Amino acid sequence: MSWLRLDDGFARHPKVLALSEAKRWRWVVLLTDCARVHHRGGIVSSAMLREVGLTREELLELELLDELEDGSLRVHDWDDYNPSDNAQALRQKRYRMRRAGVDEDEIMRVAPPRVAPERDVTRDVAVMQRENISPRARVPSRPVTPAQDGTAAKDASTDAARASDEDAGRLRALLPLDVPRAEYVRGLALRSPADEVQAITRELGAGVVDPLEHAIRRLRAVAT
């Protein structure tokens, strides 16, 4: 059995509300069809659309579907909510087990990480929570080394223009995020220019519809 992840703003999202009540349910059915076979990666076929009674034109216009270069259709931002592997599910399982006080050896046996333990995000967060230390305080500052040549000087200038962890933290504070999505947003922010991240933060502070989608879309456009 597969699982489909929807955030708590799904039913009130403007794109979903633009559909008739009957079509909203058909859209959910289409999403469950995509989730049933994870290797589809959110790809929607014409047969699937016909089966649920939706048209590609309407879904493309509402940006619920994206048209890829080869002409195929894909659910918008599918990988952000329903990744193709179970790495995210394992991270969440480890996080819940640690919150429940499960022994660390048992956690590693039941849900072993795919990366080295020291890079396990949920483990780091659990330690921070126990020690009451903010995540930003645990992130080491980026080392600064003298430029050896023109290329190094250019790289140093580029790094200096990128958002700091403090900039990323201000942005994340405006978004209700679970641990995996928080790290995803933070990673995008740290690869983006500081002025762009600060501008997005101001936009969120002023109030936007679906702030998480807005932030991810804007960050993807500017991240390097």
Mean pLDDT per 10-residue interval, the chain, length 224 residues: 81 92 94 76 90 94 91 86 65 72 80 50 47 44 47 46 86 74 84 90 79 85 84
* Beta-bridge partners for 74: 43, 66
- Confirm whether 208 is domain-assigned: yes
User: What was the pLDDT predicted at 84?
Assistant: 63
Statement to judge: residues 25 and 66 lie in one domain: yes
Domain boundary pick from 61, 81, 101: 81
Structural domain count of the chain: 3
Measured distance CA(182)–CA(139) in Å, rounded: 15
User: What was the pLDDT predicted at 88?
Assistant: 58
* pTM, rounded to two decimals: 0.41
Measured distance CA(214)–CA(167) in Å, rounded: 17
Statement to judge: residues 31 and 76 lie in one domain: yes
Give the position of tokens 């990480």. Answer: 113
User: What was the pLDDT predicted at 63?
Assistant: 92
- Confirm whether 3 is domain-assigned: no
- Confirm whether 140 is domain-assigned: no
Statement to judge: residues 167 and 186 lie in one domain: yes
Statement to judge: residues 91 and 74 lie in one domain: no
Domain boundary pick from 81, 98, 125: 81
Q: Of 159, 178, 171, which is closest to residue 198 (Cα–Cα)?
A: 171
User: What was the pLDDT predicted at 81?
Assistant: 78
User: What was the pLDDT predicted at 79?
Assistant: 75
Residue 75 belongs to domain spanning: 10-81
Q: Are 198 and 161 in contact (CB under 8 A)?
A: no
Measured distance CA(75)–CA(143) in Å, rounded: 40
User: What was the pLDDT predicted at 154?
Assistant: 44
